[in-house]
Each structure stands twice: as C-alpha cells, then as structure tokens.
Amino acid sequence: MFATSTHTEEPPAYSSLDAPQKYVEKGDHGKETPDDVLHFINPTQDSVSSLALRYSVPSVALRKRNNLYADHLLAGRRTLLIPGEYYQGPSLSPEPIDGEAEEMRKAKIRRWMVTCKVSDYDIALLYLDQAHYDVDSAVETYLSDEKWEREHPLTSSSKGKSAPNRSRRKFGTRTGVSGQL
C-alpha cells in the first residue's frame, strides 16, 4: 500500500531550495500589467462602492491603488485610478468640462502652491508661466528668490513713515485748558 523508502537516500541539496519563489497575486500570471484607467470623480454620484460596482473592481483594490485608507477620503480627490489588472476598458466618467489639458494645468498650479506653501494664486501663475509650467523649475526659481530676499533684507531710508520724534516741540500747539476751547 505505501511505498517504503530506503534510508540510504540523501536529502536534496540546500542550494536547490534557495531559489526565491515569486508571490503571485490575483491577475499576475507573468504578464505585463495593463495601464490604469483615469476616472474623473463626480462628487455627487461617485463613491468607492459605486465605482467598484461600475468597473467590476474590488473596492480593496481601488483603495490600495489610490492610497485611500477610508472611503470618505474620496471627497478630496478629483481623479481616481482604476487598476489595469482588473479593468481594461475605457473610462466610464465624462471628460472634465475644461478638458484634460486644463485639468493638468490646474494640478500643476496646486502642486506648486502646496510645495512652496504659497496661497496666492497669482504668484503661482507668475512663476509657472515663467517656467512654461515646469513645476520643478518654477519651485527652484521661487526658492532661489526667497533665499535672495532673506540675504538682502529691505533697509529703512529717511523717506517714508518713521517713529515720531517726541523731543521736538510743535509750534502752535496749545496745552492746558485754554487750548481746548
């Protein structure tokens, strides 16, 4: 019934067991993973659950791909990536009203503002226009300008407002009760 083995057989060499084994996730069968699909979020209609149903993607995979630790974090997003290993079709969201190029421009402006910690939209446009919307170049220019301003602070001159000189008496100013009448 059972085959008996002889004790004279030697165990396999350890070197044959050293080869690392690749962990295979669902959808990964040695093929190149397809590109992710960009979905433009409609805040009034989209939720993680509804997107998971619409694209037939597990909600866990959506959260993992987009670094969403809770469903309510979707409210702060404008776009979401649909994992390509689960969905290979076209985006089921309507194109943004301004177009994809305008959305990319706005994203660069927001990225520059957050990176430089500047809340003035006009300043962001100024630096990005000068850098032809190259965010890294615009940030570098802004930081070098800030450094220059720290190294060359404004000095006060004799013109402009200054602290009043209290030692000099002003003529024509009456003090006492007679000056109040």
- pLDDT averaged per 10 residues, the chain (length 181): 60 58 48 79 88 92 90 84 88 75 84 93 95 94 95 75 60 57 54
| pTM summary value | 0.43
CA distance 89 to 37: 8
The pLDDT assigned to 22 comes to: 44
Amino acid at 103: E
* Res 179: pLDDT: 54
pLDDT at 131: 95
pLDDT on residue 55: 92
- Cβ(86)–Cβ(27) below 8 Å: yes
Burial class, 126, CB count within 10 angstroms (exposed 0-12 / middle 13-18 / buried 19+)? middle
- Comparing CA positions, the residue from 124, 122, 120 lying closest to residue 138 is 124
- From the list 69, 73, 67, 78, the residue with the least C-alpha distance to 42 is 78
